[in-house]
Amino acid sequence: MKKSQRTKQRLVEAAIRVIMREGIEHVSVNQVIEEAGSSKGSFYYYFKDLDALLQAAFLYNLERSLQDFSIEADKSMQENLRLFGQYLIDSATDKRSELAMMFLWISKCYQDDGLRASFAKMQSSIVDHNSVTEQFVRQYELSAEKLLMLDMAVLGLLVHAMMLEDREQLLSVWVRLSEAICQLP
């Protein structure tokens, strides 16, 4: 990784630590710079403003939460969706900090119109262009409508995986839901 990429990544990771410690509404450019051991010049070289950094932090965490999943080319879409559901259920435990930051952002969008607007701008990156979506689209040519449905189902699964201990029940419901989505034209 190039030095410039490391600097940008340090700023993003620092923002995530500050968000987790202080809350998204209390993050400032100065806190992030101090946490990253960086400068204002570096910050503004990579990010136009704090909003751009917060978006980058969300997307970075999204990718980190998905990075360990790959579809299996020899399996059907339904089987890969079952494997993805299992991965998500496991992630509710194994990737708790990444998920916590993303859900903090989502919950704050209900209170802050600026964050809601930022989140809306990221929809394509979140739903259409994350690493898992791109794998499914390449392999199975999913429609935009199916992608949106799966995204909604993923959020529901993650919420319930945090609350319910019966992983078999969660996976069973996920399988039935994903099968229904697969059956759509």
Mean pLDDT of 104-110: 88
* pLDDT tens track for 142-170: 888 999 999 999 999 999 998 888 999 99
Mean pLDDT of the region 125-150: 90
CATH number of the CATH domain containing 30: 1.10.10.60
If asked whether residues 91 and 36 sit together in one domain, one would say no
Residues sharing a CB contact under 8 Å with residue 53, sequence separation 6 or more, in sequence order: 11, 12, 15, 29, 32, 43, 46, 47
Q: How confident is the model at residue 108 (pLDDT cuts 50, 70, 90)?
A: confident
Residue 162: which domain range? Answer: 68-183
Q: Is residue 107 part of a domain?
A: yes
pTM of the model: 0.88
Average pLDDT over residues 54-69: 92
Whether residue 126 is contained in a domain is answered as yes
Is the Cβ–Cβ distance between 43 and 53 less than 8 Å?
Answer: yes
d(C-alpha 37, C-alpha 33), whole Å: 6
Q: Is residue 59 part of a domain?
A: no
* Domains identified in the chain, total number: 2
Residue 2 has pLDDT above 70, yes or no: yes
What is the average pLDDT across 32-57? 95
pLDDT at 1 > cutoff 70: no
pLDDT, position 4: 72
DSSP annotation of 68 reads: T
Model confidence pLDDT, tens digit, residues 82-94? 999 999 999 988 8
Tally: H helices and E strands in the chain: 11, 0
Question: What whole-number distance in Å separates Cα of residue 60 and Cα of residue 70?
Answer: 17
What is the largest distance, in Å, between two alpha-carbon atoms of the chain?
Answer: 52
pLDDT at 123: 86
Residue with tokens 């500050």: 18
